[in-house]
């Protein structure tokens, strides 16, 4: 007789189905919990980050030290003169002539102060060679030096003789020393400019009439803006020059312009001698 206490195939299968069903339910519930808690998100790979640590106080660091620009040294021959008048900016000398004078810079409140004062700032109608304060010292690339053309050969009376080519041939070089260096210039252009009191501007001579005259707007010159401006200046100088000198001038050269009356009497004409610096 069949023993009902022993398991049968049917009862074994039934139990297996319950086990499988329990496993499935367990997995389903676990998956639901993982989805709810976000545990199924992809995990980023671990990346090793290199941490840079600042150098320790004991480590040596390399630094580049910028050496300060040395102060220029005043030429020995000017020290005593400068102590007497700090308006001194240099000295002008034309070899073989009587032009041999200190050059001063007029004060801001009276640009033509040294037109009627001497080196010691005393009133003197003969004046002394000087520059305007707006030119900011002697490094301007077109430096004007002014002085009277006086009877008897003093101040710039001999400069006025550059109107003759023969005088230029005898005296082609001009020495202008700043407080810190010796400079030599070669005469490049000699020409006249004229003015009208009612206009207050200068024009190249022999241009006549302000409508067609070529202006000479360089007295307040503080530096060339570009080469085109420089080239125009050189071109106008050549056009209005009293004669050819053959002296070459290139962009970047420093120039010296001596300015004086064309004659010793009253006149609206001024003679300008433009010289270019020569090295060596």
d(CA 205, CA 105): 28
Which DSSP category does 31 fall into?
A: H
Q: Average pLDDT of the chain?
A: 81
Tell me which of 241 and 30 has the higher pLDDT: 241
What pLDDT is stored for residue 47 in this prediction? 42
pLDDT band for 62, please (50, 70, 90 cuts): low
| Annotated domain spans of the chain | 76-278
Contacts of 275 (CB under 8 A, 6+ apart): 174, 185, 186, 187, 188, 247, 255, 256, 257, 258
Residue 87 has pLDDT above 50, yes or no: yes
Average pLDDT over residues 3-32: 47
Bond into 206 cis (ω within 30): yes
Average pLDDT over residues 42-54: 46
Residue 1 has pLDDT above 90, yes or no: no
Query: In Å, what is the CA distance from 107 to each residue of 113, 134, 137, 255?
Result: 7, 10, 12, 23
Fold observed for domain 76-278: Sortase; Chain: A; (2.40.260)
Residue 156 has pLDDT above 80, yes or no: yes
């Amino acid at each position: 007789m069949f023993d009902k206490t022993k398991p049968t195939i049917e009862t074994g299968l039934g139990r297996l189905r319950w086990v499988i069903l329990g496993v499935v339910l367990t997995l389903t519930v676990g998956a639901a919990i993982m989805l709810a808690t976000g545990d199924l998100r992809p995990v980023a790979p671990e990346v090793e980050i290199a941490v840079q640590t600042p150098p320790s106080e004991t480590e040596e660091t390399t630094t580049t030290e910028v050496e300060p620009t040395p102060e220029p040294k005043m030429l020995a021959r000017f020290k005593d003169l400068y102590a007497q008048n700090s308006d001194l900016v240099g000295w002008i000398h034309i070899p073989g002539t009587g032009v041999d004078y200190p050059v001063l810079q007029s004060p801001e409140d009276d640009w033509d102060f040294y037109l009627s004062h001497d080196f010691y700032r005393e009133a003197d109608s003969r004046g002394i060679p000087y520059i305007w304060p707006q030119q900011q010292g002697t490094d301007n690339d077109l430096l004007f030096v002014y002085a009277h053309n006086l009877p008897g050969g003093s101040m710039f009376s001999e400069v006025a003789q550059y109107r003759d080519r023969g005088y230029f041939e005898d005296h082609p070089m001009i020495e202008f020393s700043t407080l810190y260096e010796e400079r030599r210039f070669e005469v490049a252009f000699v020409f006249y400019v004229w003015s009208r009191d009612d206009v207050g501007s200068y024009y190249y001579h022999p241009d006549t009439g302000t409508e067609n005259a070529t202006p000479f707007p360089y007295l307040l010159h503080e530096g060339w803006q570009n080469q085109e401006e420089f080239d125009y200046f050189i071109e106008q100088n050549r056009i209005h020059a009293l004669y050819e000198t053959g002296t070459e001038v290139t962009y970047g050269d420093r120039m010296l312009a001596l300015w004086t009356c064309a004659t010793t009497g009253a006149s609206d004409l001024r003679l300008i001698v433009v010289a270019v610096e020569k090295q060596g």
